[in-house]
């Protein structure tokens, strides 16, 4: 399966999430088969990340967005478990601070963009500025509606400056969200994850769906594509994401830098 072609949002296409099956697993019917393939893929990602870090010419930015319980944390753990943490940075974007609100909405995002040689991972991102602010009417429509173009221009600037970008929307069904919220209530080891506010957000499911559909439609570009990943099955979610990341790293074709001197003449006594 070509995971990239299967799940990418084509530029200028109209996204209708009801047409995307959150249960989809393709040819993968057995969890253990997918998990073995994931282990092999993660090992390849780790090797290429080492070269990317040594080369220190380009960076990779991976963006995760999802409904509540969509699995961003689990995807990050599952896909990047074998990556050297020295060359990887994870940024979780919460509600903006007073200082951050005193700047433009991309100020704190730009500060977290990975430096050359690194893989940067965004757990939520600048897209909250066309999602939650839209659903909760935190800013006027004339403000958030301009941000799609601003986001595209921002991501284009990053791409032109050697930051490759992949953006993943982890697509779960409303029934699956209910199951995961219920699990947080029942399992003592998951109680800490439960937030009563999630129930209020759940009531806004159709509003968030429309906001996501517009963000995915307007902001998937050749330079910074969006992928709608079926995520009801966590094991398939992780495999799909890992395969797409591996394909991107292979396309970057990083190389170890050449020595700056003739090493054959060095003698260590």
Judge contact between 55 and 257, C-beta under 8 A.
Answer: yes
* Rounded distance between C-alpha atoms, residue 228 and residue 65, angstroms: 10
Predicted confidence at residue 56, as pLDDT, reads 97
Predicted confidence at residue 125, as pLDDT, reads 98
Gyration radius of the chain over CA positions: 20
Predicted confidence at residue 67, as pLDDT, reads 97
* Rounded distance between C-alpha atoms, residue 223 and residue 229, angstroms: 19
Predicted confidence at residue 81, as pLDDT, reads 87
Strands of the sheet containing 88-92, edge to edge, are: 88-92, 119-123, 59-66, 163-171, 226-230
Domains, the chain, with CATH or none = 3-252 (3.40.50.300)
Torsion of CA 122, 128, 129, 133, to 10 degrees: -160
Helix ranges, 29-173 (H):
31-55, 72-79, 98-101, 107-111, 132-135, 141-144, 147-160
- pLDDT tens, residue order, the chain (269 aa): 899 999 999 999 999 999 999 999 999 999 999 999 999 999 999 999 999 999 999 999 999 999 999 999 999 999 998 898 889 999 999 999 999 999 999 999 999 999 999 999 999 999 999 999 999 999 999 999 999 999 999 999 999 999 999 999 999 999 999 999 999 999 999 999 999 999 999 999 999 999 999 999 999 999 999 999 999 999 999 999 999 999 999 999 999 998 888 888 888 98
- CA angle (60, 170, 173) in 5-degree steps: 175
């Amino acid at each position: 399966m070509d995971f990239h072609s299967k799940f990418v949002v084509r530029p200028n296409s109209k996204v209708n999430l009801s047409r995307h099956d959150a249960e989809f697993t393709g040819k993968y019917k057995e969890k253990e088969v997918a998990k073995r393939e994931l282990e092999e893929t993660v090992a390849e990602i780790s090797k290429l990340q080492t070269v990317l870090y040594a080369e220190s010419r380009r960076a990779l930015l991976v963006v995760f967005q999802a409904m509540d319980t969509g699995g961003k944390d689990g995807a990050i753990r599952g896909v990047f478990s074998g990556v050297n943490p020295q060359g990887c940075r994870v940024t979780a974007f919460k509600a903006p601070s007073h200082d951050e609100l005193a700047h433009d909405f991309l100020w704190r995002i730009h500060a977290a963009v990975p430096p050359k040689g690194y893989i940067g991972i965004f757990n939520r991102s600048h897209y909250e500025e066309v999602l939650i602010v839209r659903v909760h009417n935190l800013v006027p429509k004339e403000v958030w509606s301009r941000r799609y173009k601003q986001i595209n221009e921002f991501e284009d600037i990053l791409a032109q400056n050697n930051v490759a970008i992949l953006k993943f929307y982890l697509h779960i069904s409303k029934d699956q969200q209910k199951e995961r919220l219920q699990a947080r209530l029942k399992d003592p080891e998951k109680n800490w994850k439960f937030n009563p506010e999630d129930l209020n957000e759940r009531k806004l499911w159709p509003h968030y769906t429309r906001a996501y559909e517009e963000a995915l439609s307007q902001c998937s570009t050749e330079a910074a594509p969006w992928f709608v990943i079926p995520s009801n099955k966590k094991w398939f979610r992780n495999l799909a994401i890992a395969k797409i990341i591996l394909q991107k790293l292979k396309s970057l074709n990083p190389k170890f830098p050449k020595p700056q001197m003739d090493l054959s003449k060095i003698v260590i006594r």
